[in-house]
Amino acid sequence: MSPYNSKYLAKNYSSTSFVITPTKHLQLFAEINGVEGEFILDTGASSSCIDFKYADFFNLQVEESEIRAAGAGASNMLTKASEANELKIGNWEEKSMPLVLFDLNHINQALLDHDASIVHGIIGADVLIKSKAILDYHKKMLFLKNKKSIIL
């Protein structure tokens, strides 16, 4: 383990790596309700989101929502909500994570158009704020502060 990583790990952070896609998005793996998927890490997204078509894949309990979503290239999109999901990124976990569901076809099409792989969803600022995240672009590492001490 590098001294750099141990500095954060000593402060009760866990780490996970990400890749930078050809579209310059940050992409990482995370688990929702025990199922692994690929996600864009988006500091500008207020909420973490899942594409509608992956609701069953991640075992989400979906509810209707009156909230409309907006993002780069799209606005006024219909959404649904899913409360109390278990989210795990590396060794960091949140046992009661709300998620927004909406159509991510426009995002995935843009990724495919640039030879990048599609994603199941977006990890947004809600997770980054909750986890007191530290993002190291140079080392391609995301550090997330654990609620409890972890034993390595």
Amino acid at 74: A
The pTM of the full predicted model, rounded to 2 decimals, is 0.86
Which of these ranges, 30-39, 66-75, 120-129, has the smallest mean pLDDT? 66-75
pLDDT of residue 108: 92
Q: What is the CATH number of domain 3-145?
A: 2.40.70.10
- Averaged pLDDT, 63-77: 59
pLDDT higher than 90, residue 85: yes
Q: How large a percentage of the chain has pLDDT more than 90?
A: 66
- Averaged pLDDT, 67-71: 53
For the chain, domain boundaries: 3-145
Q: Is 24 left (phi over 0), alpha (psi -120 to 50) or beta?
A: left
Q: How confident is the model at residue 4 (pLDDT cuts 50, 70, 90)?
A: low
pLDDT of residue 23: 87
Q: How confident is the model at residue 66 (pLDDT cuts 50, 70, 90)?
A: low
pLDDT higher than 90, residue 13: yes
Q: What torsion, rounded to 10 degrees, do the Cα atoms 55, 57, 61, 62 define? A: 10
